[in-house]
Amino acid sequence: MAACLAVLTDPNLLSRILAGEAREDARSVRLLSSGICAAYDAQTQQLWAKDSGQGDIAARELSLRRILAHGCRPAQVIVEVTDSSQADQQQAGLRLLRPFVDVSRTSPLLTREHLADAACLTAGRAPRLLARAFPHLTHLTLWDAEAAGSSLAGVLGLLLGSGNGDQSPVPRRPVLPHLHSLDLGAKSTELMEGLCAALRGATQLRHLKLDMDLEDASSAIEDLASLVGLERLAVGPTFDVEALVKPLTALTSLTLGTYGDLPAVAFQGLTALVELDCTRASLPVSVLCHLSRLTRLALGSFMVDAGARTAPQPLSLPVLELPPSLRECVLANQLPANFSTGINGPERGVHWDVRFVLEAEATQTAVRPPRAVAALCRATSAIAQSMAPTSGFRLRGFGYLDLVPGRRNHALEALARTNPAFLTLASVTLSHEDLETLSRISSLKASGGGGGRKGSPAQGAGN
């Protein structure tokens, strides 16, 4: 037993043991003995303090003090207070911060990330207690802004030294000077506008994630557009993308929940962009020439200009000029007819994950393949020119696509020729010949399907 204890409490070995254990198993290891308990606590990098509102806050505070006394110096601290009124959350938040304040009084904690219910920070002393507990904090995530109410805006202004507007020429000093990453959300338009106004002037912010719908919030967009030092931004649907992102020329990562067509002019100045994620929207292909540093691109679809889209000859579609650094391209809802017939891309290949959607056509018959299938053949042929071995496709059709007994499906043949690593089919009817086509794709590592039409010879996909 002594040898076992020595092994389990060895700092070098314990970190490996804990790395391979699920959270429940790790807790079991911790409870084996007081020696293991102390060693476990000293190695813990994530500390989760949770109060369920059942009157056990004193026990939670004592437990925190005991863990910190064992030498725990966490990189991440989570404070979760549930099933409580706002006043109870405020008091619980204060009590759960005090153990960290006491430790930092003699030896400042190096904790970088804090996640908490927003209401826990709305008590009058909470923002300054947070700063005293975690003086080196860089990342802050706040949940449930609605429960915190309008007072949360004042908290953010105090933490970041922001929100003065034009009222005072002298900026306030932030109580958390190292805080550069903020993650929060709000559903109420009034609360959302107040929170965004509180961020105006937060020049230290580099990363901002807002789970908010900005469709009806012009003032909020104006406030966010003033944060010209932002490097990473993630927001929900936004009615004026150009007004929001055009001034933010330092962005390296942008995530937008916006629907519809994105304006090309909004992206022409974002030359530092490395990641762009807009899986609900369409991006003009002409924008790519301005995004030479892009390594990851996730869109709803590529969009060609109106003239090319209505041209009688498909070969008149522009060649897709991919950025030289691009490594991954995801298209969540691409119409084959709107995809370029040629691609110039990096020599090493790009990881493609494309979901093609085939539209039903009035002229579609079982004998004549729909034009969408012909467009799909051209699109997959173009993508094959720049495909990495890990690439694959997802296809959504409409029932009996090009199904003629004894003849193979042109769409599947085109997909098979690209040697995809994965293939997912939905609402595509498969004949026995099609199943044979799928079985001959030697590169296929994963396949799936569903949503076929009742009474079809075969449904879904097989390997």
In the prediction, which pLDDT does 38 show? 80
189-199 and 151-160 helices cross at what angle (nearest 10)?
Answer: 20
Q: Indicate whether 230 belongs to any domain.
A: no
Q: To 5 degrees, how large is the angle CA 236–CA 258–CA 311?
A: 170
For residue 63, give the H/E element and its range: helix 57-69
Half-sphere exposure of residue 258: CA atoms within 13 angstroms, side-chain side: 25
pTM of the model: 0.84
Dihedral sign from CA coordinates of 402, 405, 407, 409: positive
- Which residues sit opposite 303 in a β-bridge? 284
What CA–CA distance (Å, rounded) separates 325 from 327?
6
Q: Is residue 35 part of a domain?
A: yes
Residues forming beta bridges with residue 235, ordered by sequence position: 256
In 3D space, the residue among 293, 281, 270, 372 whose CA is nearest the CA of residue 330 turns out to be: 281
| 3-state secondary structure (DSSP) of residue 366 | coil
Does residue 32 belong to any structural domain of this protein?
yes
What is the C-alpha to C-alpha distance for residues 426 and 279, in angstroms, rounded to an integer?
A: 19
pLDDT for the residue numbered 368? 41
CA dihedral 366, 367, 370, 371 (to 10 degrees): 180
Residue 23 lies in a domain: yes
Q: Is 254 contained in some domain?
A: no
Contact 427, 398 (CB under 8 A): yes
Domain range for residue 22?
A: 1-43
Residue found by looking up tokens 């304006």 in the block: 263
User: What kind and span of H or E run contains 426?
Assistant: strand 422-430
Instruction: State how many domains the chain has.
Output: 1
The confidence score (pLDDT) of residue 418 equals 92
Mean pLDDT, each 10-residue run in order, the chain (463 residues): 47 63 64 70 88 77 91 93 80 92 95 94 92 97 88 93 62 89 86 91 94 84 94 93 95 95 94 97 93 97 66 63 95 91 87 86 48 86 92 78 59 89 83 83 71 39 37
CA distance 338 to 205: 39
Assigned domain for 15 exists: yes
Taking the chain, what is the end-to-end CA distance rounded to the nearest angstrom?
A: 52
